[in-house]
């Protein structure tokens, strides 16, 4: 017996060492998951098609993020108000599928296209999903969630959520999808908006029904995610992108829904834009006596807390872009809000959305190019940045490093969950994400 024990002893010693090492690695990964605050960013899958400057998932600064939200996945159902290209894709992707089925909208971008950068080799798919799979393996702390909906893909929810059969179809197929693509760590719902006021105009005549349906949708997803977590011995997260405007507040039973959510991503931007002649900050932290409609991040936070939302679950939204107007007179350091214009600027970063400027373009072409004639202003009372061209009478409201640090400090002061940015491809040299990472999770 002794020679046998002498033979197996090294094996058991090696096994114990391996187990100990594995335990230490798991503890390290668990500690990595425990970063104090959420630092999140959206990644729009269509950015791989940007001419001359495509952005693929491998370019995401995963080491600086706690959460990455993939925008967007879709739901089979009516999309009468969506752009024609969306209608065409939905018709193809939802052929022979039940209403409510959760789908990948752009399978070419997600699974098929060969992208520059590193891609996982241990799976059968390529595209953004192949690169996200590798990111999740290299950065175990990173939580990756698909977001269902968005402005142009929310219309189906008005049909799906209120119907018990359609709703359960969505819940089941969404769970199937994240099980198949196991780098996903949960689900986000971005229904804009239960109770109406979204792109389709639907929902305003059935606010009570949609309010209840939203609660059932979130509750159903929570139960299924918990079941899945028990099966796979991991925790799955459930979040929602929400709006706390007075028009959309009645569409959600806030006290009830927040119990089932890990985070609420507050879309605290676009307070003003080129759809109106009124000029001012579009994502200001605080309101001032000059602020149109008294809109501010601070007021939205107070509204949600008044609705019994757990502050620690609220994630402040930051715009990694600016909004611009033309024909703006009488600007001064003491008067940066509630001005008048001749409408939105006709130029911008996207020809389909004039007046919209990415932070990357603002930094490159305006801030770092004084010959163009744009002067920088900072409203210390509102905590918001402005560029103004006196010659051309052009005004651009935008988020910069100073205003974003103010939001990060606010999140810490008020014990909120963190800050997210829309969206990561617009961040010049990862400057804004670095501000969040350095200030929230140093």
The pLDDT assigned to 33 comes to 57
295 lies in a domain? no
CA dihedral 104, 106, 111, 113 (to 10 degrees): 180
Question: What is the DSSP track for 345-397?
Answer: -S--S-TTSTTEEEHHHIIIIIIT-GGG-EEEEEETTTTEEEEEETTTTEEEE
99 lies in a domain? yes
For the chain, the domain total comes to 1
207-232 vs 164-180: helix crossing angle, rounded to 10: 30
337 lies in a domain? no
148 lies in a domain? yes
Reference 421, options 36, 40, 38; nearest CA is 40
The pLDDT assigned to 368 comes to 87
Q: Is the pLDDT assigned to residue 23 strictly greater than 80?
A: no
Average pLDDT score over the chain: 93
The pLDDT assigned to 428 comes to 86
The pLDDT assigned to 52 comes to 86
Residue 22 banded pLDDT, cuts 50, 70, 90: very low
Q: Which residue spans within 111-165 are E strands per DSSP?
A: 143-149
57 lies in a domain? yes
SS3 150: coil
pTM beyond 0.75: the answer is: yes
Active-site positions read 192
Strand partners, 423: none
Phi, psi for residue 337 in degrees, rounded to 5: -125, 165
Burial of 305 from C-beta contacts in 10 A (0-12 / 13-18 / 19+): middle
379 lies in a domain? no
- How far apart (Å, rounded) are the C-alpha atoms in residues 400 and 379? 12
The pLDDT assigned to 29 comes to 41
pLDDT tens, residue by residue, 35-50:
999 999 999 999 999 9
Q: Which CATH number characterizes residue 214's domain? A: 3.20.20.80
292 lies in a domain? no
- How far apart (Å, rounded) are the C-alpha atoms in residues 267 and 280? 18
342 lies in a domain? no
Q: Is the pLDDT assigned to residue 347 strictly greater than 70?
A: yes
Q: Which domain holds residue 132?
A: 35-267
Burial of 52 from C-beta contacts in 10 A (0-12 / 13-18 / 19+): exposed
% pLDDT > 90, the chain:
89
Q: How many CA atoms lie within 13 A of 369 on its CB side?
A: 9
């Amino acid at each position: 017996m002794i020679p046998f024990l002498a033979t197996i002893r090294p094996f058991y010693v090696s096994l114990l060492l391996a187990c100990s090492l594995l335990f230490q690695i798991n503890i390290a990964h668990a500690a990595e998951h425990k970063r104090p605050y959420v630092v999140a960013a959206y990644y729009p899958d269509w950015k791989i098609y940007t001419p001359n400057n495509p952005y693929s998932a491998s370019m995401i600064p995963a080491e600086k993020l706690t959460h990455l939200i993939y925008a967007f996945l879709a739901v089979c159902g009516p999309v009468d108000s969506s752009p024609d290209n969306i209608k065409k894709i939905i018709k193809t992707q939802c052929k022979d599928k039940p209403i409510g089925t959760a789908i990948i909208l752009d399978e070419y971008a997600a699974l098929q296209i060969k992208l520059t950068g590193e891609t996982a080799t241990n799976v059968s798919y390529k595209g953004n999903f192949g690169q996200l799979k590798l990111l999740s393996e290299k950065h175990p702390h990173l939580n990756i969630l698909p977001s269902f909906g968005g402005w142009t893909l929310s219309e189906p929810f008005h049909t799906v959520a209120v119907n018990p059969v359609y709703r359960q179809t969505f819940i089941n197929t969404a769970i199937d999808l994240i099980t198949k693509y196991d780098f996903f760590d949960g689900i986000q719902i971005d229904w804009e908006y239960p109770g109406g006021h979204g792109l389709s105009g639907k929902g305003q005549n059935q606010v009570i029904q949609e309010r209840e349906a939203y609660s059932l949708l979130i509750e159903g997803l929570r139960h299924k995610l918990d079941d899945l977590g028990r099966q796979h011995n991991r925790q799955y997260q459930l979040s929602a992108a929400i709006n706390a405007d007075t028009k959309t507040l009645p569409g959600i039973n806030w006290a009830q829904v927040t119990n089932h959510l890990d985070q609420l991503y507050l879309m605290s931007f676009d307070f003003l834009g080129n759809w109106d002649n009124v000029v001012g900050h579009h994502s200001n932290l605080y309101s001032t006596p000059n602020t149109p409609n008294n809109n501010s991040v601070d007021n939205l936070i107070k509204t949600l807390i008044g609705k019994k939302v757990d502050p620690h679950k609220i994630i402040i939204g930051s715009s990694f872009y600016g909004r611009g107007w033309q024909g703006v007179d009488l600007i001064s350091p003491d008067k940066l809000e509630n001005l008048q214009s001749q409408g939105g600027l006709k130029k911008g970063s996207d020809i389909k959305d004039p007046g919209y400027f990415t932070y990357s373009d603002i930094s490159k072409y305006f801030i770092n190019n004084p010959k163009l004639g744009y002067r920088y202003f900072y409203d210390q009372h509102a905590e918001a940045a402005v560029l103004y061209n006196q010659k051309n009478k052009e005004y651009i409201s935008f988020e910069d490093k100073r205003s974003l640090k103010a939001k990060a400090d606010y999140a810490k002061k008020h014990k909120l969950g963190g800050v997210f940015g829309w969206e990561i491809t617009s961040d010049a040299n990862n400057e804004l994400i670095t501000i969040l990472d350095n200030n929230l999770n140093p």
